[in-house]
Amino acid sequence: MFEILEKERIGPGVNRAVISAPAIAQAHRPGQFIILRTHENGERIPLTVADKDPEKGTITLVWQEVGVTTYYMGTMCVGEKLQDLCGPLGKPTHIEKFGTVVGVGGGIGVAPLFPITKGMYEAGNNVITIIGARTEGLLIMTEDMKKVSHETLIATDDGSFGIHGFVTQVLQGLIDKGTKIDLAVAIGPVPMMKATVNVTRKANIPTVVSLNPIMVDGTGMCGACRVEVGGKTMFGCVDGPEFDAFEVDFDLLMKRLAMYKGPELIALNNFRETPRGCQCTFPGGA
Ligand code: FAD
Ligand code: FES
Ligand code: MG
C-alpha cells in the first residue's frame, strides 16, 4: 500500500506520481484531498487527489517543491512507499449542471482544479478553463485540461505562451464579450484567487475557491486550518476546502500561511545537508 507506481517531472520543481491506495481511489470525490507522511518522523501535509483510477486502485498526486516535505517527496522513486496516507478528506465539490462553468487555475492550482473540471464536464456543463502561469515552462497539465474542457484558454504573465497577461484579464475578456457564466471556480495562489473574486463580484458571478490553509490533523480537531468566511471561523479541512469566494477573508489566510516561514526555512536548510537534500536542485542553484 502507498507504493509509488509511476513518477515523473511535469515542470520545474513539479512532480506527478501515481500511488497505490485502493480504498482512497474508491471513496474519493472531486475536491477532496489526502494528508500524508513520507516517513515515520515526517510531518503531515495535505495534497489534493488530482486524479484516480478506482479499477487499478490508484490515485495521482501532483505537487510543487516548496519546502522540506515536498522536496523530500521529489527525491522518492518508483517502488518506494509513503509512510501513510489518510483520506479522502474534506467536503466534495458540489457538482451539478449549472450551465457554463469557468475554471480558473494559476500555477500549481491547476492540479486541484483538474478533478473539479472533470466532474463539471461529466455532469454536462459547458466548461471553459483558463490556465495561467508566470512563464511557458511553468504551465502544467494543459493537455489533461483540454480533455475535460470545451474551451481552454492559456495565459502567461510574460507572453511566452498563449495570451499575454493574467488569468483575470482573460476572464474579464470573456465577460466583456458577453459570455454568460453561471459559476466560476478559482484555485491558485491566494493573491490570484483574491484578484479573480474582484472580477467575478463585479459581474455577479457565483464563485467558489479552494483554500490551502496550513493543516495538521485534517479532521477538525487541531484548529490549524482556521479560515474566516462570512465573518465566521471555519475549519478548512472539514468545512472546506471549498468556500463561497465572496465571503473569504483572503488577507487573513495569507497572514496565517506565512506564520511559520522562519522555522520552515531553518528546516529546509537542515534538510539540504541530508543525503536526500543533496539530491535536490534548489532555486538559485544551491
Ligand atoms: P514548508 O516549507 O513546510 O512550507 C511552505 C509553505 O507551505 C508554508 O509557508 C505554508 O504556507 C504551506 N504549508 C506548510 N505546511 C503546511 C501544511 N501542513 N498544510 C498546508 N500548507 C502548509 N500543494 C501542491 O503542490 N499540490 C496540491 O495538490 C496541493 N493540495 C493542497 C490541498 C489542500 C487542501 C491544502 C490545504 C494544501 C494543498 N497544497 C498542495 C499545499 C501543500 O500542502 C504545501 O505546499 C505543503 O504542505 C508544503 O510543505 P513543505 O514541508 O514542503 O514546505
Ligand atoms: Fe486540524 Fe483542520 S487541520 S482542524
Ligand atoms: Mg513543511
Set out the domains of the chain in order of their start, with CATH numbers.
Answer: 4-90+263-279 (2.40.30.10), 100-257 (3.40.50.80)
Query: What 3-state class would DSSP assign to 180?
Result: coil
What is the DSSP secondary structure assignment for residue 81, as one 8-state letter?
Answer: B
For atom 45 of ligand 1, which residue has the closest CA? 66
* Dist CA 187 CA 146 (whole Å): 17
Query: What 3-state class would DSSP assign to 131?
Result: strand
Which atom from ligand 2 is nearest to the alpha carbon of 238?
A: 2
Q: Is the CB of 233 under 6 A from ligand 2?
A: no
Q: So what's the pLDDT on residue 26? A: 97
Does residue 16 have a pLDDT over 90? yes
**Ligand positioned closest to the Cα atom of 239:** 2
**Ligand positioned closest to the Cα atom of 236:** 2
Q: So what's the pLDDT on residue 283? A: 80
Joined together, the cell numbers standing for residue 8 give 515523473
Segments in 81-240 forming alpha helices (H) = 110-122, 142-147, 167-176, 190-202, 236-239
Query: In whole numbers, what is the pLDDT of the chain averaged over residues?
Result: 95
**Ligand positioned closest to the Cα atom of 89:** 1
For residue 150, the CA-to-ligand 1 centroid distance in Å is: 31
Instruction: Give the whole-number percent of the chain exceeding pLDDT 70.
Output: 99
Which atom from ligand 2 is nearest to the alpha carbon of 216?
A: 3
Asked if residue 28 lies in contact with residue 87, where contact means CB atoms within 8 angstroms, the answer is yes
Mean pLDDT within 112-129: 97
**End-to-end alpha carbon distance in the chain:** 34
For residue 271, the CA-to-ligand 3 centroid distance in Å is: 11
Joined together, the cell numbers standing for residue 192 give 490570484
Does residue 268 have a pLDDT over 90? yes
Prior bond of 191 cis (ω within 30°): no
Q: Is the CB of 221 under 6 A from ligand 2?
A: yes
pLDDT confidence band for 196 (50 / 70 / 90): very high
Instruction: Give the whole-number percent of the chain exceeding pLDDT 90.
Output: 95
Q: So what's the pLDDT on residue 286? A: 45
- Does the pTM exceed 0.85? yes
List residues near ligand 1 (CB under 6 A): 33, 45-48, 62-64, 66-70, 108, 111-112, 212-215, 241, 257, 261, 264, 268
Q: Is the CB of 216 under 6 A from ligand 2?
A: yes
Does residue 65 have a pLDDT over 70? yes
Q: Is the CB of 36 under 6 A from ligand 2?
A: no
Query: From start to end of the chain, where are the E strands?
Result: 4-11, 14-20, 33-37, 45-48, 51-53, 58-64, 84-89, 100-106, 126-133, 151-156, 163-164, 183-187, 207-210, 226-229, 232-235, 242-244
For atom 50 of ligand 1, which residue has the closest CA? 67
pLDDT confidence band for 64 (50 / 70 / 90): very high
